[in-house]
Structure 1
Amino acid sequence: MKRSHSNTGANPDVRVRMRRLRWTTFSLVAASYMLAFFHRMAPAAIASDLQLAFDASATALGALAATYFYVYTLMQIPTGILADTLGPRRIVTLGGAIAGVGSLLFGYAVTMTEASIGRMLIGLGVSVAFIALLKINAAWFHDRHFGTMVGLTLVLGNIGSVMAAAPLAWVLQFTTWNTVFIVLGGVSFALAVLTWLFVRDHPGEAGLPSLREMDGHEAHPPHEGHWFEGLMTVLRNRYTWPIFWMNLGIGGSFIAFAGLWAVPYLSDVYGMERVAATQHTSLMLAGFAIGAFSVGVLSDRLGRRRPALISTAFVHLLCWLPLVFALPMSLAMSYSLFLLMGLSAGSFTLSWACVKEVNPHALSGMATSVVNTGVFLGTGILQPLVGWTLDRAGTAQGAAAQYRLGILIFFFCVVVGFVGSLRVRETYCRYIS
């Protein structure tokens, strides 16, 4: 029977249950996403430890770090399909168990091969968390708040990033990186169990009406065809692809730099100690969290996507110029620059709201997964590519000259992302498909 607005909307018990289950579901999946972000960024803080432990070159180190992104990239579209068919609860539970095994293997690794397999399993396990969380957001929160919820999601995820920078460097003064990842394996298993017990894919699983029904509107229609037809609908949509290129250019370069090469770059070019360099990446990632939340809130309140997206993307483009020219900077200037880089990188986080709104609601998992592939494809290419440029440059040149080609590659990708942002269609914060 269809629920009426007068029956469901006025029932305080329904709204209380909705709030409780909404935030329980969101919190547990968000915790898995925070763990995914920690694993994503941790190699930057332990780069020197990994090189020492495995006698690794810069290229090998980049490949080890990027193993996570290779499998993460390959899993994005399958994750979108699984989120739209099996649901977030099942895939996050299974992903948590796989990530737990990978983290234990990485922590106990004694060879580069073992470490690579462990990191691959970590990437496989955590690859489902973000798309699942976007699917949860679409099911449990109002459409008009989606940009804000994506921003909050990124804030929480970046807490994991921040913990993988300066706090991890501090912890490593008292223990080894191996112990850290062994403990994280146990945390992954615990989250998998809690997810299975308490997460619900949508309000209907708990006997509750959808949010649209509670507001007196028709529920979004389900996808009636085969999942492959749904995927083709997303891929054939010309409004999907500018968002993909924006994510590849801006998101891929930002994560590749912050997640691996920022700390070595600051240490080699500007002579910073590891603690100071990781403080820069912590500040950049904290800025990214704030920027992602702020740009989402601003976009929702404006009722438009493009103004917030394009303006912040342009600022991010400008932030790379001091690095391109290796300009001398005081400590205050470098801290300010990295904070602004993080704040402005929040521009690409509007991509998930944009792509959701130019595709059918029932295909939100597939739509967000397609453009999310761009972020990790870019990162997976850039991390080893920049490492290769460093190995090729050798040690005869100065540090700035060694990094010049790598920084130019990052900058070129950001330009590609900015051009993509100019082509994104305005949705006015609603579904237009």
Structure 2
Amino acid sequence: MKLSAGGTPTRQATIIFAVVMAAYTLSFFQRFAPASIAQDLSLAFDTTAASLGVLAATYFYVYTLMQVPTGVLVDTLGPRRIILLGGIVSCVGSLWFGLADTLTQALIGRTLVGLGVSVTFIAMLKIIALSFDERRFASLAGAGVFVGNIGAVLAGVPLAYAATELGWRNVFVAVAVASLVLGTLSWGMMRGSAAMGGVKVDRTVVMGGLLSVIRNRLTWAPALANLGLAGSYFTFAGLWAMPYLTQVHGYSRSLAATHLSLMYAGFAIGCLVLGFLSDKLHRRKSILIVASTVYVAIWTVWMWGGAMSATLTMALFFLMGFSTAGFTLTWACAKEVNPPQLAGMSTSIANVGGFFGAAVMQPVVGLLMDQVWSGATMNGVRVYTLDDFRFGFSLVVVMAVLGLVAAFFIRETACRNLWVDAQLKAGA
């Protein structure tokens, strides 16, 4: 697939991008769904906070492990094959999870879901890199995440409502069908596109490229920023935000779900706005630092945990989502300090941080809370106090601060690839 004259993307490229964005919405839905149905899962599988954390984090374990292999596969086999395989695997996993009778079966289902959806995002970034002008990379990546966040919004109030009316199990059966349909549709839309099919390469060349990305010191500041910022956000938004709101602030399930939807909406809008602003101003680092500072500041409010109006907490949840979106610039930051042909690998290295952080922190937060839990329960579900949440969230705050500090060490490229610029200067 190539750009048409004047750098305008072909109609085929635009349609493929739209279909893959639709598939990406399911990835976001699966990522944040446990937060809205945490109480249902606790009742269905009789879980402690630690085991509930493990169940939610299983998605992130597999997602983390698959990021670098996905980058390699996208750069070699191409997006077409792995998106189809991802759709099939996530279909099986969602069915398994929805029909699970035990916690072990649910863990298997979540593992398969994480494995299946883990390929979609890096494939989408590769499609952007192949088919669109590099100066629009952050804007289009932000647009992709904006659309993907429709899935996160659906995992808020709509999922809470559907779980009450239809049952959470039926919801995941329906998601399984949608996963298979979109994977198959992506395969069909990319038929005949050589670029989407990948290229045959020597394994030594692949490993050499991967090692060059890893050895590049400029790759690691974006990766660490992603680790701290995205990891802390996914930990909170993907599981613990709902229990925090209902048990500390005393909100109803529907009001708490509204907070989640606002946070997801804020994140979606932030991805679009900050990506556009970054490309428009030709700046990555300064925008990331400002957004990250706001994000860390909001964490101090949750740690305080004092009484506030629902209007204020909803506004803060929206702002938290918006400011967190700054971490999406880390993908462009990593891509622009590595060779363009290694876009899949470089973005996957940066992206692995956030999912690794969430994979570790979600269960550890629960474990810390269990250590200080008083033993109180309500309707068969454990109840935690503000002090319990403070103790668990202390780790999350440390990681958020780490992400902010790492942002100061990112190389500003003015939205240009350093390797391409070096080659142009050498040619001149």
TM-score w.r.t. the length of structure 1 is 0.91
Give the superposition deviation at 1:223: 10
Give the superposition deviation at 1:333: 1.1
Task: Decide whether aligned partners of structure 1 residues 201 and 250 sit closer, same or farther in structure 2, where only a CA change above 3 A counts.
Answer: farther
8 Å Cα contact 2:275-2:329 kept in structure 1: yes
Task: Decide whether aligned partners of structure 1 residues 119 and 392 sit closer, same or farther in structure 2, where only a CA change above 3 A counts.
Answer: same
Question: Are residue 413 (structure 1) and residue 399 (structure 2) matched?
Answer: yes
Task: Give the Cα–Cα distance (whole angstroms) in 2 for the partners of residues 327 and 317 of structure 1.
Answer: 17
Aligned-CA RMSD value: 2.0
Task: Give the Cα–Cα distance (whole angstroms) in 2 for the partners of residues 192 and 333 of structure 1.
Answer: 40
Task: Give the Cα–Cα distance (whole angstroms) in 1 for the partners of residues 204 and 409 of structure 2.
Answer: 30
Counterpart for residue 423 of structure 2: none
From 153, 166, 171, the equivalent of 2:157 is: 166
8 Å Cα contact 2:127-2:196 kept in structure 1: no
The runs of 5 or more residues in structure 2 that have no matched partner are 377-383, 420-428
Deviations 1:76-127 (A, max 9, x none): 0000000000001100000100000111111111011111101100000000
Task: Give the Cα–Cα distance (whole angstroms) in 2 for the partners of residues 224 and 86 of structure 1.
Answer: 12
From 96, 99, 107, the equivalent of 2:98 is: 107
2:388 maps to amino acid: Q
From 357, 360, 365, the equivalent of 1:381 is: 360
1:356 maps to amino acid: K
Counterpart for residue 266 of structure 1: 245
From 27, 36, 42, the equivalent of 1:36 is: 27
Task: Give the Cα–Cα distance (whole angstroms) in 1 for the partners of residues 317 and 178 of structure 2.
Answer: 31
Give the superposition deviation at 1:203: 7.3
Task: Give the Cα–Cα distance (whole angstroms) in 2 for the partners of residues 382 and 278 of structure 1.
Answer: 22
Question: Are residue 320 (structure 1) and residue 308 (structure 2) matched?
Answer: no
Deviations 1:324-377 (A, max 9, x none): 222321111111111111110011000111111000000000001111110100
Give aligned-pair identity as a percent.
46
8 Å Cα contact 1:223-1:230 kept in structure 2: no
Counterpart for residue 340 of structure 2: 361
Counterpart for residue 422 of structure 1: 408
Counterpart for residue 210 of structure 1: none
- Stretch deviating more after TM superposition (353-362 or 386-395): 386-395
Question: Are residue 27 (structure 1) and residue 24 (structure 2) matched?
Answer: no
8 Å Cα contact 2:31-2:59 kept in structure 1: yes
Counterpart for residue 284 of structure 2: 305
1:280 maps to amino acid: H
The runs of 5 or more residues in structure 1 that have no matched partner are 207-221
Task: Decide whether aligned partners of structure 1 residues 129 and 408 sit closer, same or farther in structure 2, where only a CA change above 3 A counts.
Answer: same
Deviations 1:260-316 (A, max 9, x none): 000000111000111111111110110011111111111101012112111111111
Which SS does the other structure have where 2:218 is aligned? coil
Counterpart for residue 212 of structure 1: none
Deviations 1:12-61 (A, max 9, x none): xx96xx53201211011111111011000000011111111111111111
1:429 maps to amino acid: C
2:286 maps to amino acid: P
Question: Are residue 45 (structure 1) and residue 36 (structure 2) matched?
Answer: yes
Give the superposition deviation at 1:183: 1.0
1:21 maps to amino acid: Q
8 Å Cα contact 1:80-1:131 kept in structure 2: yes
Task: Give the Cα–Cα distance (whole angstroms) in 1 for the partners of residues 64 and 393 of structure 2.
Answer: 23
Task: Give the Cα–Cα distance (whole angstroms) in 2 for the partners of residues 336 and 136 of structure 1.
Answer: 35
TM-score w.r.t. the length of structure 2 is 0.92
8 Å Cα contact 1:24-1:199 kept in structure 2: no
Give the superposition deviation at 1:224: 10
Give the superposition deviation at 1:205: 6.4
Question: Are residue 294 (structure 1) and residue 280 (structure 2) matched?
Answer: no
Task: Decide whether aligned partners of structure 1 residues 224 and 387 sit closer, same or farther in structure 2, where only a CA change above 3 A counts.
Answer: closer
